[in-house]
C-alpha cells in the first residue's frame, strides 16, 4: 500500500507542477483564444453562405413545431365543426321564425 500511496503523491505533485507552470498556462490561454477565433470565423462563414447556425436552426425548429401543433388543433376543430354540420343537416327541423311570420301574415297562403 505504501507504493500505491507514493505513486499517488508523485502523480499529484507532477500534475500540480505541470498545471502550475507558465508554459501550461500560456498554452491553455492560446488554445482558448484559438477556439474563440475559430467560432467567430465559423459564424462569419455561415453568415456569408447564408446558412443558419445551430442556435438559429433550433429556434426555427421550435417555431415549425409550434405552427404544426396549431395546425393540428385547427384541423381537429374543423373536423368537429364538419361533424356538427352533418348532424344539423340530418336533424329534422321545424319551420324557421321567418317562415312562421310569413305564414301568419298570409293566413297560411303561400
The answer to whether residues 80 and 74 touch, using CB atoms and an 8 Å cutoff, is: no
Number of Cβ within 10 Å of residue 21's Cβ equals: 11
Q: How far is CA 63 from CA 50, 77, 80, in A?
A: 19, 21, 26
Q: Average of pLDDT values for 81-101?
A: 80
Question: Using one digit for the tens of pLDDT, what is the confidence trace for 35-52?
Answer: 999 999 999 998 999 998
Same domain flag for 110 and 59: yes
Q: State phi, psi for 108 to the nearest 5 degrees.
A: 90, 0
Same domain flag for 77 and 35: no
How sure is the predictor about 98, in pLDDT bands with cuts at 50, 70 and 90? confident
The pLDDT value recorded for residue 91 is: 72
Question: Using one digit for the tens of pLDDT, what is the confidence trace for 16-39?
Answer: 998 889 999 999 999 999 999 999
Same domain flag for 31 and 16: yes
Residues of the chain with pLDDT > 90, as a percent, come to: 60
What is the total count of domains within the chain? 2
Q: Where in the sequence is the domain holding 33, given as residue range(s)? A: 1-51
Same domain flag for 31 and 63: no
Cell of 46: 455561415
Amino acid at each position: 500500500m505504501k507504493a500505491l500511496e507514493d505513486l499517488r503523491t508523485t502523480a499529484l505533485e507532477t500534475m500540480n507542477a505541470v498545471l502550475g507552470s507558465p508554459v501550461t498556462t500560456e498554452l491553455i490561454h492560446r488554445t482558448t483564444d484559438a477556439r474563440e477565433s475559430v467560432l467567430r470565423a465559423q459564424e462569419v462563414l455561415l453568415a456569408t453562405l447564408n446558412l443558419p447556425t445551430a442556435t438559429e436552426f433550433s429556434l426555427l425548429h421550435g417555431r415549425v413545431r409550434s405552427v404544426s401543433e396549431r395546425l393540428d388543433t385547427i384541423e381537429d376543430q374543423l373536423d368537429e365543426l364538419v361533424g356538427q354540420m352533418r348532424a344539423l343537416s340530418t336533424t329534422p327541423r321545424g319551420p324557421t321564425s321567418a317562415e312562421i311570420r310569413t305564414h301568419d301574415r298570409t293566413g297560411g297562403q303561400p
